[in-house]
Amino acid sequence: MPISTAYLALENAVRSYNPGADLEILKRAYDFATEAHAEQKRASGEPYIIHPITTAMTLAEMRLPIQIVVAGLLHDVPEDTPRTIEQIEKEFGPDVAKLVAGITKLGKIKYRGIERYIENLRKMFLAMAEDVRVVVIKFADRLHNLETLGAIPPKKQYRVALESLEIFAPIANRLGMGEMKGRLEDAAFKYVFPKEYEWTRNLVETSDRQQQGYLNKIMGLARKDLADAKLEVIDIHGRAKHLYSTYRKLLKNERNIARIYDLIAVRVLVPTVADCYGALGIIHGRWTPLKGRIKDYMAQPKPNGYRSLHTTVFCEDGEIVEFQIRTPEMHQAAEYGIAAHWAYSEMGKRSTASISSRIDWVSQLADIQQELKDKKEYLHSLEDLKIDVFRDRIFVFTPRGDVLDLPEDSTPVDFAYNIHTDLGNTCTSAKVNDEMAPLSQTLKSGDIVEIVIDKNRKGPNPDWLKFVKTHHAKSKIRQYARAGIASWIKGVIPGNFLKK
C-alpha cells in the first residue's frame, strides 16, 4: 500500500469513531514523522514511516483518543532521528510529548540474557505505574514488529518473540486487553514454537472447515429464537480462535481437541444487561446447558474487568457449543480492556490518573520497584513478581462481599496479607465458604474467606513461606523473621560487645 494511502486509511479510521477529532494535528504528526524518518528503511527494505503509521492504525482500531494515535505516529522519532522531545512538545503539546518520552524510556536495551529480561520487566512495570497509555502504545509498536519479524536474523526473531510471550502478552492480559493479548501471542507463537504452531494451525483449520456450516446453522437458530421472543440482537458471530491459547488448552487436555468445550463459540451482542439475561434464558430454552459451565461474569466480573455471560450447551446432534452474551460496551472492554475506558470517556477527557487508580496492582508495582532497587534482589524476587503479575487471577470475597484479586493458587495467608499486614501477622486459621480450612489451602474464584486472628500472636510463622504465593506475603514474613533474628542476637550478646 502506498504511504499516502496508508495515512488516508488511518485518517478515515479515526474519523469513523470520532467525527469531531482534530485531524489537523494528526496530519501534522504524519508530516513531522515522515520528514524525520525520510532517509530510513526497515530491515525489510520498506520505508520506515510504514511502521509508525501501522502502529497508529492499531491504536485507531482500538478507538483511542487522538493524542494517543498521534503519539503512535511519533513514537520512534526521538530515539531514531535527530528530532527531540522538546521539539515534539513545542509542536504537539505536553501530553503527546509525555507519551512519546515514555515510549523512548522503554526503548532499546543493551543487556544480554537475564539482565535484559529483568531490565525489560522493570521498565514495563515503571511505565505502567507512571502512565498506562504508554504501555498500550508499546503493545501496538511490538505487534507490528512481530508481524514483520521475517526480515531479521533467526536469533533475534526468537528473542523478540519469546519476550513478547513472556512479558508483553501477560501484561496485556492483566490490563484486560484480550484481543491484543491474543494477537501478540499468535504473532510470537510461530517463532518460539514453530512445530507446535504448525500442528495447532492445521488442527484448528481442519476443525474450522468441518464446523463452519454447523456453526452457521446454530447461529441461524439462535437468531430466529431471539427474534421470535422480540429481543433485539445487535450482532451474532462466531468467535475467532487464537492459536496460542488453543495450544495451551490442548496441552492441558492431553492434546485432545474434542475435550476443549469452547473451541466452537458464538458471541451474542444485545443492547442491555437485562437483554443478556433474557438471551441466556432463550438459549437454554432450546438447548440443554452443561452442568457447571454457566459463568456469570456480569455479577462477578473477572479481576481485569471482563464482563460477560458464558454458557456451554448441547446443540444439534449432541455437539457442544459455548455462547458468550454481552452488551457492545462489555464487548469493547473485553477486546481492549483498560484502553476501552478512554474510548468510552468522552474521547479521552477522563484523566489518566482516574483510570490508573482502577487497577490497584499498577500502583502496587511502583511500590515494588522502590523495594527492589538492587539487581540481585530483583533477580531473587523475579519469580514472585511473575506470579503476582503474570499468573492467571482469581477473585475471592471477604465476608462483607468485598472482592480481592489474587494470583491463582493463593492461600488464606496471601488473602490476609492482601487486606492488611497486621491481619497476616496475627492470623491463626481460616474459614473458606463457612468451613474451617488450613492456612495452606488453595483458594478458588468465588470462595468466601474469613480470617481468624489471635491478637496475642507475636507474628507470622516462617513455615508459611513454604506455601504462600504473593510477593507481598513473602516479603512481610521474611521481614518479620529478620527482625526476630536481630532481636534475638541483641538479647543474647552483651551490648558492649555489639558496640565494639
CATH code: domain of residue 146: 1.10.3210.10
Least confident of 199-213, 364-378, 393-407: 364-378
Report CA Rg, the chain: 26
pLDDT band for 492, please (50, 70, 90 cuts).
very low
Is residue 364 one of the residues assigned to a domain? no
Q: Are residues 12 and 137 in the same domain?
A: yes
**Could you read off the pLDDT of 232-291 as tens digits, one per residue?**
999 999 877 789 988 988 887 777 766 666 667 899 999 999 999 999 999 999 999 988
Phi and psi (nearest 5°) for 268? -120, 120
Q: Are residues 165 and 203 in the same domain?
A: no
What pLDDT sits at residue 384?
A: 54
Q: Are residues 33 and 73 in the same domain?
A: yes
Is residue 121 one of the residues assigned to a domain? yes
What pLDDT sits at residue 75?
A: 94
Which one is catalytic: 61, 80, 89, 119? 80
Q: Are residues 111 and 85 in the same domain?
A: yes
pLDDT band for 109, please (50, 70, 90 cuts).
low
pTM: 0.73
**Could you read off the pLDDT of 328-376 as tens digits, one per residue?**
999 988 888 777 766 555 444 444 443 444 455 555 555 555 554 554 5
238/342 Cα distance (integer angstroms) = 27
Is residue 288 one of the residues assigned to a domain? yes
End of a domain among 336, 351, 369?
Answer: 336
What pLDDT sits at residue 241?
A: 79
Q: Are residues 128 and 212 in the same domain?
A: no
The reply to whether 163 belongs to the active site is no
CATH number of the domain at 264, please: 3.30.460.10
Is residue 456 one of the residues assigned to a domain? yes
Write the CB contacts of 56 (distance below 8 Å, at least 6 apart in sequence).
10, 69, 70, 72, 73, 140
Q: Are 309 and 297 in contact (CB under 8 A)?
A: yes
Least confident of 100-104, 254-258, 309-313, 489-493: 489-493
Phi and psi (nearest 5°) for 275? -65, -35
Q: How many domains would you assign to the chain?
A: 3
Q: Are residues 144 and 28 in the same domain?
A: yes
Q: Which residues partner with 266 through β-bridges?
A: 238, 323
Element (H, E) at 116: helix 113-130
Q: Are residues 172 and 207 in the same domain?
A: no
End of a domain among 146, 177, 208?
Answer: 177
Is residue 357 one of the residues assigned to a domain? no
Least confident of 112-126, 393-407, 465-479: 112-126
Q: Are residues 19 and 139 in the same domain?
A: yes
What pLDDT sits at residue 286?
A: 95
The reply to whether 79 belongs to the active site is yes
What pLDDT sits at residue 302?
A: 77
CATH number of the domain at 423, please: 3.10.20.30
Q: How many CB atoms lie within 10 A of CB 131?
A: 20
Q: Are residues 419 and 469 in the same domain?
A: yes
Write the CB contacts of 254 (distance below 8 Å, at least 6 apart in sequence).
none
Is residue 99 one of the residues assigned to a domain? yes
Is residue 188 one of the residues assigned to a domain? no
Q: Are residues 144 and 284 in the same domain?
A: no
76/380 Cα distance (integer angstroms) = 33
Q: Which domain holds residue 225?
A: 195-336
Is residue 356 one of the residues assigned to a domain? no
**Could you read off the pLDDT of 431-487 as tens digits, one per residue?**
998 899 999 999 987 788 999 999 888 889 999 999 998 888 988 898 887 765 555
Which one is catalytic: 79, 91, 179, 319? 79
Q: Which candidate, 463, 458, 439, places its Cα nearest to that of 449?
A: 439
Q: Are residues 165 and 23 in the same domain?
A: yes
Instruction: Give the mean model confidence (pLDDT) for residues 223-230.
Output: 96
Averaged pLDDT of the chain:
82
End of a domain among 177, 212, 232?
Answer: 177
Q: With 60 as the cut, is the pLDDT of residue 42 above it?
A: yes
Q: Which candidate, 387, 398, 389, places its Cα nearest to that of 359?
A: 389
Q: Are residues 298 and 447 in the same domain?
A: no
Q: With 50 as the cut, is the pLDDT of residue 22 above it?
A: yes
